[in-house]
Amino acid sequence: MSNEIDSRIVELTKRDEFKLFVKNNESVIVKASATWCGPCKRSTPFFMQIFNENIPKKIKLVKLDVDEGDDLAHYLRIKQMPTYIHFYRGEPQEIYMSSNKNEIINFFNKVIAYHK
């Protein structure tokens, strides 16, 4: 089971590889953060638990470290962290900039609604 979960998660840093990934996957969540970001560190375990346990397997996750992937962060217009963006059929649909657990739950509920 863990291999199945792991195959849904990729780390990308370049806009070209990201564009191709979004083009080839119907539903993609971007999780933008940084290693030095306190709110990112605090919210990541909760975010990942929900993603791994409750999100349909067809939804992919792109993890973006904004320091390593400044090209992609600039392309996505990341202004604060953590930022979560849901792309559906190549277009951004939901954008949340919060480490609040209720906001993360709201984000995931909106993502799931695209697949009902």
Domains of the chain by start residue, with CATH: 2-111 (3.40.30.10)
pLDDT higher than 50, residue 1: no
Active-site residue numbers?
A: 37, 40
Task: Please return the burial class of 16, using the count of CB atoms within 10 Å of its CB with bins 0-12, 13-18 and 19+.
Answer: exposed
Contact present, 12 and 21 (Cβ < 8 Å): yes
Q: How many CA atoms lie within 13 A of 79 on its CB side?
A: 4
Residue-wise pLDDT for 9-66, tens only, equals 999 999 999 999 999 999 999 999 999 999 999 999 999 999 999 999 999 999 999 9
The predicted structure's pLDDT at residue 115? 84
